[in-house]
A and B are shown apart, each in its own frame.
Chain A
Amino acid sequence: MAPALLESSMARDFAWIRPEPHGIHIAPADIWIDPSRPVPRALVTHGHADHARGGHGETIATPETLAIMELRYQTREGARPAQYGETIRLSGGVDATFIPAGHVLGSAQILLEHAGERVVVTGDFKRQPDPTCTPFVTTPCDIFVTEATFGLPVFRHPPIFTELTRLIDRLHADSDRCVLVGAYALGKAQRVIAELRQIGHHDPIYIHGAMERMCRLYENFGIDLGELRLVSDSEKDAMRGAVVICPPSALNDRWSRRLPDPVTAMASGWMQVRQRARQRNVELPLVISDHADWDELTATIEQVDPQESWITHGREEALLRWHQLHQRRARALALVGYEDEDD
């Protein structure tokens, strides 16, 4: 193969990789990335349900992501693990390499190479440090397929330390209550717990039953979460002055009535906007996100320096405008089915 010759003799049209409404399709290998409906062959970037659906014939993903999918869908059929940095030869002359994305445990960007052309699909990613997953690795490419969940310049996620300090302060100020933190059950919850341990909070943390198995899975992959107790096994009075973590959907649910007068908190990038916090009835908004904020998105694109960016989902209009202002090429893909309301 002679990339230089190819580049000079034919237009680079990247016809081998196409965004379709239900995912990104790689024609020579007939394989899909994060398809939103069952397909014969899929590459999956990470375990969040909107990216990792069940029912595919063959699924190639990191061992962590496959374990998460097995937990969700109770089957390992067709699972084919790919380690970070490992290149997998697909049919039709397409190579796929899994690269850390720093989003949640096992999350990967997927580098696709075909006929000398390089495309990186990030899935979701962030650049802030996270003790529960391998940090993002910048990978040069021709086309950079990025998310834009927080693709507006108002989104600047503060360091997680300042947000957790506010949580601990509130815990001390209202010591006969508990602080109930709504956090996405995969990734956010474990990160909040692990970060609380890092800043020296070693009291038992109480969790909603729906999070138990995912926390155990993290522990099995070597992430230390300290002492966790189930809310359902605990007395109300034992939880006074404690941190309780539940999925966002349980925050205003009848479930929370068993807690001692909870201060409602939520860990999400959306908490940056006051009215979003109000819409969720949140008293203590914690701006903690597993997605890149505006500065991370734009800095990453500058570092990767692709010929063109493809924007999969989120606030694509503003990120498109940024590309225009910086004389960079970009297009929005309008993929369906990626949801981001709870992050």
Chain B
Amino acid sequence: MERFAALVDALVYTRSRNEKLRLIASYLRDTADPDRGWALAALTGALDFPAVKSSTIRAMMQQRVDPELWALSRDFVGDTAETASLLWPAPDGEREPAPTVSEAVALLSAMTRANVQAELPRLLDRLDPSGRYALLKLATGAMRIGVSSRLAKVAFAQAFAVAVEEVEEHWHGLTAPYPELFAWAAEGAAPPDTASRPTFRPFMLAHPLEDGTVDLADYAAEWKWDGIRVELVRVNGETRLYSRSGDDISATFPELTDVLPIDAVLDGELLVRGSHQGGEEGGAASFNALQQRLGRKTVSRKMLNEYPAFVRLYDVLMAEGADLRELPWSERRTRLEALMPRLPDSHFDISEIVSAPDFAALAAIRESARDAAIEGLMLKRRDSPYVAGRKAGLWYKWKRDPLLIDCVLMYAQRGSGKRSSFYSDYTFGCWNGDPDDGADLLPVGKAYSGFTDAELKQIDRHVRQHTVNRFGPVREVDRSLVFEVAFDSVHTSKRHKSGLAMRFPRIHRIRWDKPSHEADRIETLSALIRD
């Protein structure tokens, strides 16, 4: 565990990508199986210990530290695991020897909700502060140390001088601690057999279309739907659903795992059906509805009935044994259309092509789109092969212009991580009447993006100088600063006092110049509802 803790700390303090690669590669080379496999799984977020969550750590610390001192410390440090690692009351006398990574993983796996509050402390007692930090990060599965799974794969490839494409191809479908992967790369054994398993293929992504135009003779347009991008893979009759990052989310959407009648790899948008949620008749509901289904490990029958999921297909990567990724988009589109009659329309439809005589006409269509499930348009080069990642000039996303409203800053909270010393999360409100007649502000949303680092410093200073109340990490400020807030849509919500919930709110401009009583009223915002 000491070596792993030292690696984690070194990665935290290293900015250079090459240096990170060097650190991980040398760890992987110099560490024995299965420790290195578990470490790799930890770095790429592939470990899950159901009994150990951030809330477990909080509960454990509540028994040992005054809650207010805990809250102030957590607020300052900006990270629960790190705060706990520093505040942990180390036992007197000699420490028991630190566990190996494998032993720690075995002990963490064996923990249950019933015994975690007794077992986790015993493990922490065996470690120094840096070891405690690494252990808690590994246990909660949130390393957040600037190592993407892509970076880990490149480091793996570097460590053993193998091609990164091969690593990617073999990686998915294997489980930690990846003995087959190390045997292949480090010892020259035969590569793991993944062709016969439903593994993830990296997505093709789009660049934003900034100011330019494209020639519609070369590019096809289709709607960009406001759901989550998914890949549905069936191999040898076994189906898996993957999210954009390659996470297996089959368990969250079980209704999609037994409806694909052929072996194929399909790219599409996962949506929830229902016109009552602001969608077209029989079609897609707003993202608000889909949100009910996300992040669940198990799904109730009621959920399945109320928020039925389906996939609106964009592309086909493989079908019945043939890899179609080298074909031009237009050819793949023809194949996809030909496939549609064989797919059950209860769970699949196709994302329609949007035709327009010229780009100006297309712009008009984009502006007039009223459907809440439409985020904008995609522009795809008709001759583009399906290539992993974001390749210049092939696909563009062209989002609808955001809606704008002027709100007043009400509360600010300190951020996490690099922003832990800054008030960077803002709650803002609109007036519930005429502010000159004594109307009040009601919170309508929260945002923590859309400003530059220099603006963040200015807002942070404003918050500190205009604080009227403190609630732990939150400061209430006087109502003097106006934000122009950009957002994609607004919906009714029972969870908020204002009865409204914004989608993707972000700070568009800071209106230092605007008096707060001139900010917008609630009724202006509710007029934009399209539920």
- Residues of A with Cβ closer than 8 Å to B? 152-154, 156, 272-279, 281-285, 315, 317-318, 321-322, 325
Contacts and interface: CB of A to CB of B under 8 A. Distances in A.
A153 B68 CA distance: 11
B72 A273 contact: no
B12 A318 contact: no
Interface size class of chain B, counting residues whose CB lies under 8 Å from the partner chain: 20 to 34
Contact of B72 (A272, A277, A317): A317
A274 B78 CA distance: 10
A152 B72 contact: yes
Given A277-B13, A321-B68, A154 B76 contact: yes
Given A153-B73, A273-B76, A321-B68, 6 more contacts: A154-B86, A274-B9, A275-B420, A317-B72, A318-B68, A318-B72
Given A279-B421, A325-B66, A154 B77 contact: yes
Nearest to B78: A275
A152 B76 contact: yes
Contact of B13 (A153, A272, A283): A283
Contacts of A284: 13
Nearest to A272: B86
Given A273-B77, A283-B14, A285-B13, A321 B72 contact: yes
Interface in B64-80: 65-66, 68-69, 72-73, 76-79
Closest 8 CB pairs of A and B: A154-B86, A318-B72, A154-B73, A283-B13, A321-B68, A275-B420, A274-B12, A152-B73
B213 to A, nearest CB: 41
B79 to A, nearest CB: 7
B12 to A, nearest CB: 5
Contact of B421 (A154, A276, A282, A321): A276
B83 interface: yes
B70 to A, nearest CB: 9
B498 to A, nearest CB: 31
Contacts of B78: 273, 275
Nearest to B86: A154
B65 A153 contact: yes
B50 interface: no
A149 to B, nearest CB: 12
A210 to B, nearest CB: 25
A275 B424 CA distance: 15
A275 B420 CA distance: 8
B66 A273 contact: no
B82 interface: yes
Nearest to A317: B72
Contacts of A281: 15
Most buried by A among B14, B72, B420: B72
Contacts of A279: 418, 421
B68 to A, nearest CB: 5
Interface string B1-42: 000000001001111000000000000000000000000000
Contact of A315 (B12, B76, B417): B76
Contacts of B82: 273-274
Contacts of B87: 153-154
A315 B72 contact: yes
Interface in B419-471: 420-421
Contacts of A283: 13-14
A154 to B, nearest CB: 4
A275 B69 contact: no
27 contacts: A152-B76, A153-B69, A153-B73, A154-B73, A154-B76, A154-B83, A154-B86, A156-B86, A272-B86, A273-B77, A273-B82, A274-B9, A274-B12, A274-B13, A274-B82, A275-B78, A275-B420, A277-B12, A278-B418, A279-B418, A281-B15, A285-B13, A317-B72, A318-B72, A321-B72, A322-B69, A325-B66
